[in-house]
Amino acid sequence: MHQDHCALGLAPLSTVARNSVSSALDIAQAKPVQPVTLVRPHAAARAARFFVEKFPGRSMYAVKANPSPELIQILWDNGITHFDVASIAEVRLVARTLPDATLCFMHPVKAEEAIAEAYFTHGVRVFSLDSLEELEKIMRATRNASDLTLCVRLRVSSEHSKLSLASKFGVPAQDAKPLLFAARQAADALGICFHVGSQAMTPEAYAEAMERVRAAIVDAAVTVDVIDVGGGFPSSYPDMAPPPLERYFETIHRAFESLPISYSAELWAEPGRALCAEYSSVVVRVEKRRGNELYINDGAYGALFDAAHIGWRFPVTLLREPQSTVRDHPFSFYGPTCDDLDHMAGPFLLPADITAGDYIEIGMLGAYGSAMRTAFNGFGSDETVIVEDEPMVSLYAEVEREAASNVVKL
């Protein structure tokens, strides 16, 4: 379990160094004893602009992917005005950071007290649900409010995604009709939402989910005002290079246009990972080498939960100057705690001459990395530094370069 102080990543702002340095290599050359989180505001800003400009509907940021107030502010500054929150602490965090933002409470199982506080104190009007019990709870907590947008979460398949979200939430098709009907009676606006699972590797995932939406609408014969396609938009990792995001957007747009819904219905999405994966990385030190195993100073209880528990492979680079010319070799990592589980199988490809005292940058930790750090066993560090170099991988840098060269051509 993650400790309170870090479960929401609510690190004090003061831990972010205000003097920005240019690159990951600069950090390594300062020889930090603790792991250092690097943040790249320009990468998050670019991702936000991409979704704002290209997604054919409204993009709201799923805060759980990375609840850093600085990141939330960057997304807002670049056009993201709506935020998908899932707990009362996330509601309070975004309300405090961005008083003018619109919050949507998209966890289908909420505490009644959380609903009441969200509605009466923070002005939240959008709620998701996947059962009649939750609908009753929302109506009770809001004293039968008449200004609600209620989004019924449908169960859809996660088969195209690297991380399933299919078993816990979502009303099964056979139970959707009475729930849609009851929500329609209670709601000012009725939505249907789903989540295809995180890191969906093909746009087909959304096409198939939209077919389930169609069947549910036809079966229940209700008027639907919002279609929310959830998260799942991928980022790029070793051996997990997805098709261009524009293909996802085209597939979703086509499916949306063909649904039996009113002309004025809105299309929403809740990207988490895709908006923040490139935002941060971590610089770690190799404390020991044992054959093909590197003992590093961050791990499963730090920013590398996914690397340890679901075998996620993150990109890595050796930060050494002059650069090693030795060929790459597959390594696994041990984290710093005394726990055998603190092991990241990888394989992580690094120059074969890597040794204790070397520094490694582990990339793409902006989503579900930084957010999950703990201080278990006395390890981990809040030290965060802004850098201006490019993330190790980017889905957006190329798009930005192309756009710039088109301007020149004109």
Ligand X SMILES: *Cc1c(COP(=O)(O)O)cnc(C)c1O
Binding site for ligand X (CB under 6 A): 62, 64-65, 84, 106, 195, 198, 230-233, 270-274, 367
User: Cβ atoms within 10 A of the Cβ of 31, count?
Assistant: 9
- Closest by CA position to 359, among listed 282, 305, 271, 303: 282
Considering beta carbons, is residue 276 or 296 the nearer one to ligand X?
A: 276
- Tell me which residue of 147, 194, 203, 140 sits closest to 171, measured CA to CA: 194
CB of 128 to ligand X, least distance (A): 7
CB of 290 to ligand X, least distance (A): 35
- The answer to whether the beta carbons of residues 223 and 180 sit under 8 Å apart is no
Q: How far is the CB of 233 from ligand X (least distance, A)?
A: 5
Pick the closest to residue 281 from 321, 324, 323, 235 (CA basis): 235
Closer by beta carbon to ligand X, 97 or else 199: 199
Nearer to ligand X, 65 or 307 (CB): 65
Contact predicate 61/272, CB 8 Å: yes
SS3 of residue 237 by DSSP: strand
Considering beta carbons, is residue 64 or 313 the nearer one to ligand X?
64
CB of 84 to ligand X, least distance (A): 5
Find the radius of gyration of the CA atoms of the chain. Answer: 22
Question: Phi and psi for 318 in degrees, rounded to 5?
Answer: -80, 125
Q: Which residues contact 124 (CB under 8 A, 6 or more apart)?
A: 85, 91, 103, 104, 105, 118
Closer to ligand X at the Cβ: 129 or 367? 367
Whichever of 48 and 319 has its CB closer to ligand X, that residue is 48
Instruction: For residue 212, report the phi and psi dihedrals to the nearest 5 degrees.
Output: -65, -35
CB of 107 to ligand X, least distance (A): 7
Q: Which of residues 199 and 297 has its CB atom nearest to ligand X in the complex? A: 199
Question: Residue with CB nearest ligand X?
Answer: 231
Can you tell me the distance from the alpha carbon of 349 to that of 332, in angstroms, rounded to the nearest whole number? Answer: 9
Give the Cα-Cα-Cα angle 221, 233, 367 (nearest 5 degrees): 130
- Of 34, 68, 17, 91, which Cα lies nearest the Cα of 385? 17
